[in-house]
Structure 1
Amino acid sequence: MPPRLPLPRPRIPKQEQPAHKPVPVPIERSVDFCRVFVDGKRLPGNFRVRQAAEMVEDLDNAFVWLSLKAPSEDQMERLAEVFELDDLIVDDIVDAHQRPKIDRYDEQLFMVVRSVHYRDDEEVADAREIISTGEVQVVTGPKFAITIRHNAPLPDLTGKLEEEEDLAVLGTTAVAWVIADHLTDNYLRVADYLSHDVDELENEVFTPRRQINIDKIYNYKREVLEMRHAIDPLAPALRTSLTNNKDIVRKALRSYFRDVQDNATIASDHLSGFDERLTSLLDASVAKVTMQQNVDMRTISAVVGMAAAPTLIAGIYGMNFEYMPELGSKWGYPATLLVMLLVMGAMLWWFRRNHWL
C-alpha cells in the first residue's frame, strides 16, 4: 500500500488586535501659565485650565489668561470645547502661518502679531539668521484671553498687566494690548540695531580703498524685507479694528492701542528708510566695483603695452635673415637692450602722466 500522506492542518485565523489609539496629550503640556484675574487683581497661584474656566463663570468682572506654546490640533479642539472657540479660530491657530490681522467672531476677537528677534551678525554664521520671526496669536472673549506663541519667545507679561493702573479692570482686550505693546516695542529696538548695522555698511562702502562685501548688503536687504512683511500689515489692521470693534474695545483702551499703532507705523517707516538706503548702497557698491575693475583693466593694459614694445623688437631680431641692421655689430646687442629700456621708460612716463599707473 502506498504511504499515507499527512493531512494538512487547517489554518486558524489570528484574531485581529484592535489598533491602539494614540494617547491624547494633556493640554497642560503646552501651557506656559494659567492665571485668573478678578476685579483687576491676579489671584495667587497657577490654575489648571478647566478649573480656571469654571471659576470665572461664577464671578463678576473675572477672566482667565491662558498662555500656550504651539498647541497641537487635538489640544486646541479640547480647548475649543472648554472656551467655546469658533472653528475658524482653531484652524488659524493650528495652521500658524498668518499675517498680522484682527478678526472678529461674534464676541470673540482673534489677533495675530508677528514677533521679531535680532541677533548680531557676529554671533551667527549665516547672515540670513540675523532677523528671525515668529507668530503670537491672541484670542479674547468675555471671560478669557488665550495667547499662543509659535517660534516666538514671550516673557510672562502678567506683571505688566498688574503694573498698569486699572488696566486689568478693562477686560480681556487689555491682555491683547499688553502682548501687542511688548512686540511693537521690540520692533523699535530691532530697528535701532539695524540702523547701527546700516551705518556701518555705509562706512564700508564709502571708505576709499576698502574691500566691499556686496553679499552682506544683499543679506541685510533680505532681512529688512522679511521684517517688513512681518510688521507692515499690523498698523492698518489695528486702525480698522479700533473703528469696527468699539463695542468690544473700551474707550479707555483705544488710546493704548493707538500708541501700539503709532509704534508699528514708526517701525515700518524706519524699515522703509533702511530698504532705500540699502538699495542706494547696492548701487554705489556696484558702481565702485565697476570703477575698480576699469582701473585694474587699464593697469593691465598699460603693463601689457609696455611689454609689447621689447617683445616686438626681440621678435624682429629673432628672424633668420642674413642681412639685418646691427646684426654683425659689436654693440648691436647692448644697443638693442638700451632701445628696449628707453621705449619702456617712455611708455611708463606717459602712462603715469595720464594716471594709468
Structure 2
Amino acid sequence: MIVDSALYRRGRRTTLDHASADYQHLREGVVERGDFVWVGLYDPTDAELADVAAAFDLHPLAVEDAANSHQRPKLDHYDDSLFLVLKTLWYVDEDDAVETGEINLFVGRDFVVSVRHGQGSHLQAARSYLESTQSVLEHGPTSAVYAVCDTVVDGYTDVINELQIDVDEIESSVFSTARTNDAERIYTLKREIAEVRRAVLPLQDPMRRASEGSVPGMEPEGAPFFRDVLDHLNRAAEVVHDLDDLLSTAFSAHLARVSVQQNDDMRKISAGIGLVAVPTLIAGVYGMNFRYMPELDWRLGYPLAMVMMVAFSIALLVFFKKSGWL
C-alpha cells in the first residue's frame, strides 16, 4: 500500500491538491533543480508496484528485485536511475532474536520511490528529519537516500547494543561458579550476529562509493553526509566482528570448563569408590566362611575388622581431601 507520497520544492514539502497515487501530477510539480517526489510503499501488491514502475519508468530487473523481499544489500545503476537495497534490523529481547526487513530505494533525477518489507523498517522518522532540515532537503533525492541510510544504520547500532548486553551476560555465566549450560544460547547469539553481518558488511561498499561522491546520479555535495553514515557503519562492522570473536572464545571456555567439571566429578566418584572399596575388601575377606581361617575362632576378630574398616576409610578420606579430590 501507499504509505506516503509528497512533492518537495525548495527544501519544503508542498501541499497536494490531488490523490497521493496520481504520480503523473506529482512529477509535473518538479520545476526546479532540487525539487523531487518521494513515494513510499509498504509491502505493495504487484499491481501497485507496476503502476509506480510505469509512472517513474523503473527498470524491470530492479522492480523484480523489489517485489522479492530477500535481496542482498547492494547499489545498482540502471540507465538514469539507481536501485539501492538495505536490510533493516530490530531486536526481540525475549527470544535473543534479530528480525530483518528490507528497504528498496529507486532514485532518479527527480524522484525517490521507497519500497518497504517487514515490520521494523518505518521511515517516518527519516521523513520528519528531512522535512525539519531544509538545508539538507535542498540537495534533492540524495538527501532522501541519506536520511534513509542514516536511519537504517542507526537501527543497526541499537541492535548491536542489545547483542552486546547478551554477550556480556554469556561471559558472566560462563565464568561464574554455578554450573551452567550456555552452549545453546551461544549458538543462538552467533546465528543472530551472522544475520547482522549479512546486513552490515555488504552495505559498506555502496556507502563508501557514496561518501566519495562517485555514484552517478547522486549529488557530490552529499558526500560528507554519507561519510558520517559510513563511519557509523564501519564501527558497527567492527563491533559485530568483536562480538563474534568473544562468543567463539566464550564457547571454547565453556567447553573447557565443562571438561574440568567432568574431571572433577570423576575424581569425586573415584574417591567415593575408594572409600567404599577398602571396607568392602576387608568385609569380603572376613566374610569368606572357610573352615580353617585363624580369625574365625578369635574373640577380637570382629572388633578388629571394624576398626580396620574405619581406620582405612578415615585415612583415605584425609588423603583425598589433601589431594583436592573431595
Alignment partner for residue 77 of structure 1, among 17, 42, 50?
Answer: 50
Decide whether the 8 Å contact of 2:102 with 2:121 is kept in 1.
no
Structure 1 residues 111 and 314: CA distance shift in structure 2, 3 A = same
Decide whether the 8 Å contact of 2:209 with 2:215 is kept in 1.
no
What is the one-letter code of the residue matched to 1:148?
A: V
Aligned to 1:105: 78
Structure 1 residues 328 and 48: CA distance shift in structure 2, 3 A = farther
TM-score by length of 2: 0.92
Aligned to 2:305: 336
TM-score by length of 1: 0.85
> How far off is 1:106 after superposition?
1.4
> How far off is 1:322 after superposition?
0.7
Q: Which has the larger radius of gyration?
A: 1
Aligned to 2:109: 142
Structure 1 residues 47 and 268: CA distance shift in structure 2, 3 A = farther
What is the one-letter code of the residue matched to 2:146?
A: W
Q: Return structure 1 stretches of 4+ with deviation > 6 angstroms.
A: none
Structure 1 residues 59 and 229: CA distance shift in structure 2, 3 A = closer
Structure 1 residues 69 and 208: CA distance shift in structure 2, 3 A = same
Secondary structure of the residue aligned to 1:170 is coil
> How far off is 1:102 after superposition?
0.7
Structure 1 residues 285 and 227: CA distance shift in structure 2, 3 A = same
Alignment partner for residue 55 of structure 1, among 26, 29, 36?
Answer: 26
> How far off is 1:208 after superposition?
2.9
What is the one-letter code of the residue matched to 1:301?
A: S
What is the one-letter code of the residue matched to 2:82?
A: L
Structure 1 residues 34 and 270: CA distance shift in structure 2, 3 A = same
Deviations 1:88-135 (A, max 9, x none): 111100122111111111111111111110122xx33xx4xx211111
Structure 1 residues 47 and 63: CA distance shift in structure 2, 3 A = farther
CA–CA separation in structure 2 for the residues paired with 1:32 and 1:67: 5
Aligned to 1:3: none
Aligned to 2:239: 270
My pick for the range that moved more, 193-202 or 95-104, is: 193-202
> How far off is 1:47 after superposition?
5.6
**Coordinate RMSD, CA, aligned:** 1.9
CA–CA separation in structure 2 for the residues paired with 1:192 and 1:295: 37
Superposition pairs of residues 161-172 of structure 1, within 5 angstroms = 161-172=130-141
What is the one-letter code of the residue matched to 1:206?
A: F
Structure 1 residues 55 and 346: CA distance shift in structure 2, 3 A = closer
My pick for the range that moved more, 77-86 or 315-324, is: 315-324
- Give the count of matched residue pairs: 322
CA–CA separation in structure 2 for the residues paired with 1:331 and 1:45: 113
Decide whether the 8 Å contact of 1:235 with 1:262 is kept in 2.
no
> How far off is 1:267 after superposition?
0.2
Decide whether the 8 Å contact of 1:184 with 1:260 is kept in 2.
yes
Decide whether the 8 Å contact of 1:102 with 1:241 is kept in 2.
no
> How far off is 1:50 after superposition?
4.1
> How far off is 1:44 after superposition?
3.1
Secondary structure of the residue aligned to 2:321 is helix
Deviations 1:3-49 (A, max 9, x none): xxxxxxxxxxxxxxxxxxxxxxxxxxx11111221221102359634
Structure 1 residues 47 and 201: CA distance shift in structure 2, 3 A = farther
What is the one-letter code of the residue matched to 1:306?
A: L
My pick for the range that moved more, 105-114 or 184-193, is: 184-193
1:89 aligns with 2:58: no
Alignment partner for residue 197 of structure 2, among 228, 238, 254?
Answer: 228
> How far off is 1:164 after superposition?
2.2
Structure 1 residues 340 and 58: CA distance shift in structure 2, 3 A = closer
**5+ unaligned residues in a row in structure 1: which ranges?**
1-29
Superposition pairs of residues 199-238 of structure 1, within 5 angstroms = 199-238=168-207
Query: Which of the two has greater helix per residue?
Result: 2
What is the one-letter code of the residue matched to 2:289?
A: N
Secondary structure of the residue aligned to 2:289 is coil
What is the one-letter code of the residue matched to 2:156?
A: Y
> How far off is 1:243 after superposition?
5.1
> How far off is 1:73 after superposition?
2.5
Aligned to 1:253: 222
Decide whether the 8 Å contact of 1:33 with 1:46 is kept in 2.
no
> How far off is 1:185 after superposition?
1.1
Structure 1 residues 194 and 41: CA distance shift in structure 2, 3 A = same
What is the one-letter code of the residue matched to 2:102?
A: E
Aligned to 1:40: 11
**5+ unaligned residues in a row in structure 2: which ranges?**
none
